[in-house]
Amino acid sequence: MANYKTFTMELAGKTLSVDVGRVGKQANGCVLMHYNDTTVLCTATESAAPRDGIDFFPLSVEYSEKFYAIGKFPGGFNKREGKPSENAILTSRVIDRPMRPLFPKDMRNDVTLECMVMSVDTNCRPELVGMIGASIATTISDIPFDGPCATTQVGLVNGEVIINPSQEQWDKGDLQLTVASTEDRIMMIEAGANEVPEADMIDYIYRADAVNKELIAFINQIRAEVGKEKQPYVSCAVPEEMFEAMKKIVTPEEMEQAVFTDDKETRENNIAAVTEKLKEAFAENEEYLGLLGDAVYQYQKKTVRKMILKDHKRPDGRELTQIRPLYAEVDLIPRVHGSAMFHRGQTQIVDVCTLAPLSEAQRVEGMDPFVTEKRYVHHYNFPAYSVGETKVSRGPGRREIGHGALAEKALMPVLPSVEEFPYAIRCVSETMESNGSTSMASTCASCMALMAAGVPIKAQVAGISCGLVTGETDEDFVLLTDIQGLEDFFGDMDFKVTGTHKGITAIQMDIKIHGLTRAIVEGAIARCKDAREFIMNGVMKDAIAEPRKELSAYAPKIDMIMIDPEKIGDVVGKSGKTINEIIKRTGVQIDIEDDGRVSICGVDPKGMADAKKMIEIITTDFEEGQVLEGVVVSIKEFGAFLEFAPGKEAMVHISKIANHRIDHVEDVLTLGDRVKAVCLGKDRMGRISFSIKDVKNR
């Protein structure tokens, strides 16, 4: 069993070790990764034969979190890990993005990359270990792969740049940057940032790239010693002779006329007509008919890329830096707390903002011990009708979850603190129409919906996507501002950047080629800055320039007070009796945190004021001279008991009820009477006493 090899290196002050041949020997590639005490099993497997009937490379990435890794039982009844968490889904996407372009595009064998978290040391994030391990497992396998690629994360805490930060530094810092790269190119950038300036972001990206070069040298060492020879695969590329035959039936000029229009539906109808013409011409050729769908796609792609790269001509006739027509408005949905619509070309998002008490914050159960709930949640929906298709909704997929998380990350830095705005916040982006970069439209619409709801965000946030078409050399490329769907499908990059006037709040980069040069990275970031400034200064500012000062009449109102944590039990009462009585009388919702923070939520200002007053009475000691209004709840021979708040009572002696002598309390008071009484301080027995008759003298 000891017949395995371990490779180690020091990475950012911690020990990274890779066990090869220790477990998982039947996978094409398998490594047991250790980064200090964080342990992740990473495997790469491939099917023996291509999958029939598909025109894409079938890569699947699964990042799974095992709760034994943090010494916990899974939540819920079943006590078995269920569907992947949102974090697991997002991590799978980040592993997929830099690796997918490095597999042969014409391969149709199924490939599955699996990363299983087995142990978590909070100083070493398991997500990073999975990203590195997936690349190593694939690199040493016999699966065709033009790697390796490596991944590094960068944090920023109190102005200090930290390579591969701990979980706590990652959560609390001003930067969450993940960069994947090959030996000479950037493959993937994912970032959340607290308004980081563009120049600083570029610097951080290339600091990570420098570390990646060290990692790649380490991976190449492992490959040299234990790597398998890459096996051949069956190419499913469209034969060149088929393209030549197609050009005789549909000339390049005809294809240009078909694809170059600013209307998506017109273009699709044109391509359908082209496809039908080719289908009729190839009616006797079964091989060509089987490849026709992919062949037409490739023909379109070559046509669009040639026109953009050589003639700088975009399918809809725009200039390279030109943004599609913009439109924005707020308040289009009645009775919700805040709503906005953002329209860019044929991409249209309606966003609705909902406010709720902090108790409605989303609970999070995962590997991160420092994040147990989310106060701000952004959800993104992409129904089939938005692209003119018919498909039953099966709930959000990985794409929807990823787009929602990107918009959420984009807006987090500008949200007010809990102390400034004690609400849980949910934004939902509904895609009404889609033709490219709905996630960036969601960011713009969500920003406006938040302002319309009266959320005092610190700055406007907008987002835009930059595309790319490359030629034969590093210097031969064209950047495209605000790419539409066709330019995304046929181009080489989808570089999304969100930010304020001050700096970047989020980045997500997808590419289809073997990496980006520094000139492309810097150019794309600069293009996105110019575009988002244009959007914020234009339609967004015209629709709503700043957050509203008042909340919607339909939004709950929240008042927050602090009490002595030692008094929490007094407010709650035995078995919750006191707090439930306050809620019953006032109609509010009350949430109490362990630090003594009390949120009072309701729609009736009087009920909220009454609840606040009751809590203040319950949690403060009676003081001499204090005048309070109470209800007579008990009458005795010697006096009456007044309740000033649920669970907070005091006695008025019979001699202190009226200015004249009375023989019976009932002569003046009855149960349920509301009266004012003044605190007289402590009597000879040390008991607090009140007087009704002395109120006017105080």
pLDDT digits (tens, 9 = 90+) for 460-490: 999 999 999 999 899 999 999 999 988 999 9
Q: Which of 193-207, 548-562, 674-688 has the highest mean pLDDT?
A: 193-207
- What band does 698 get if pLDDT is binned at 50, 70 and 90? low
Q: Which of 427-436, 667-676, 679-688 has the lowest mean pLDDT?
A: 679-688
Task: Indicate the residue among 162, 192, 226 that finishes a domain.
Answer: 226
CA pair distance 595, 370, nearest whole angstrom:
17
CATH number for the domain spanning 306: value is 1.10.10
Residue 316 lies in a domain: no
Domain of 56 in residue numbering reads as 5-226
| H-helix segments, 335-435 | 398-411
CA pair distance 539, 290, nearest whole angstrom:
47
Q: Are residues 364 and 440 in the same domain?
A: yes
* Confidence (pLDDT) at 444: 98
User: What is residue 697's DSSP assignment?
Assistant: G
Domain count, the chain: 5
- What band does 1 get if pLDDT is binned at 50, 70 and 90? low
Residue 650 lies in a domain: yes
156-213 confidence digits (pLDDT tens): 999 999 999 999 999 999 999 999 999 999 999 999 999 999 999 999 999 999 999 9
Amino acid identity at 386: S
pLDDT(218) > 60 = yes
For the chain, how many residues are written?
698
Mean pLDDT of 677-693: 87
Q: Are residues 430 and 346 in the same domain?
A: yes
Q: Which of 216-230, 283-297, 425-439 has the lowest mean pLDDT?
A: 283-297
- What band does 359 get if pLDDT is binned at 50, 70 and 90? confident
Q: Are residues 372 and 423 in the same domain?
A: yes
Residue 435 lies in a domain: yes
- What band does 314 get if pLDDT is binned at 50, 70 and 90? very high
Nearest C-alpha neighbor of 382 from the set 325, 341, 437, 326: 437
CATH number for the domain spanning 167: value is 3.30.230.70
Mean pLDDT across the chain: 94
Q: Are residues 212 and 271 in the same domain?
A: no
Task: Indicate the residue among 202, 226, 250 that finishes a domain.
Answer: 226
Mean pLDDT of 426-454: 97
Q: Are residues 197 and 257 in the same domain?
A: no
Q: Are residues 247 and 274 in the same domain?
A: yes
**Please, what's the largest Cα pairwise distance for the chain?**
117
Phi, psi of 81 (to 5 degrees): -55, 135
Q: Are residues 374 and 425 in the same domain?
A: yes
SS3 category, 435: coil
CA pair distance 257, 268, nearest whole angstrom:
12
Q: Are residues 398 and 339 in the same domain?
A: yes
Q: Are residues 174 and 70 in the same domain?
A: yes
Q: Are residues 208 and 293 in the same domain?
A: no
Residue 319 lies in a domain: no
Task: Indicate the residue among 614, 641, 660 that finishes a domain.
Answer: 614
